[in-house]
Amino acid sequence: NAFATDAIGPDEASIIIGDGYFQFQKDSGVESEGPEYAHTHEYSHHLQLLLGVGELNDDFSDQSAKKQELMADAFSAYFLAHDSGGDMTSEEISNVHAIAYSVGDCEVTNEAHHGTPSQRKCATVWGSSLADSDRGRKFKLQDVAKEFESWYTKID
């Protein structure tokens, strides 16, 4: 498993990724892109905190977990696909989409639901498409978040 936390201290945000997650990625044949996706996805949760659009806690009474996870997927894919970010090839980004799909869940009635496999993949496709359509232009993080908000209203 992988997660972002600020529980260590107010100025000590952390990303914790277990060995099992890396083994899962290796077994899935994406040991190159898997760790990069996990790191950028979890880092995106810290960016959400800075933007004031996320919380690192277990209170998801309004199913906000899904929105936070899909936004982190989108931010991650945007960075990994962007020429000034991860600069991944089309094949590598396709692997990122597959990884996102593999970590989706179908527990749609669970308040901590993180998005179905298709929703997780769709969020990475959206994020990488934004980077690709960008043609080298860098969006401000706040602008990516606003674009995501508009896109998110269409997700079911």
Read off the DSSP letter of residue 82. S
Distance CA 20, CA 137 (A): 37
Measured CA to CA, the distance from residue 84 to residue 8 in angstroms comes to: 31
Question: Can you tell me the distance from the alpha carbon of 3 to that of 42, in angstroms, rounded to the nearest whole number?
Answer: 6
- DSSP letter, residue 108: T
Average pLDDT, the chain: 84
pLDDT at position 75 over 70: yes
Q: Which range among 15-29, 78-92, 95-109 shows the weakest confidence by mean pLDDT?
A: 15-29
Q: What is the mean pLDDT of residues 56-70?
A: 73
What are the two backbone dihedrals, phi and then psi, of residue 2, each rounded to the nearest 5 degrees? -140, 145
Rounded Cα distance, 29 and 52, in Å: 35
* Interval 4-33: pLDDT, tens: 666 666 667 777 778 888 888 888 888 888
Query: For 15-24, 60-69, 136-145, which range has the lowest pLDDT when averaged over its residues?
Result: 60-69
Average pLDDT (46-72) is 78
* Burial class for 44, CB neighbours closer than 10 Å (0-12, 13-18, 19+): buried
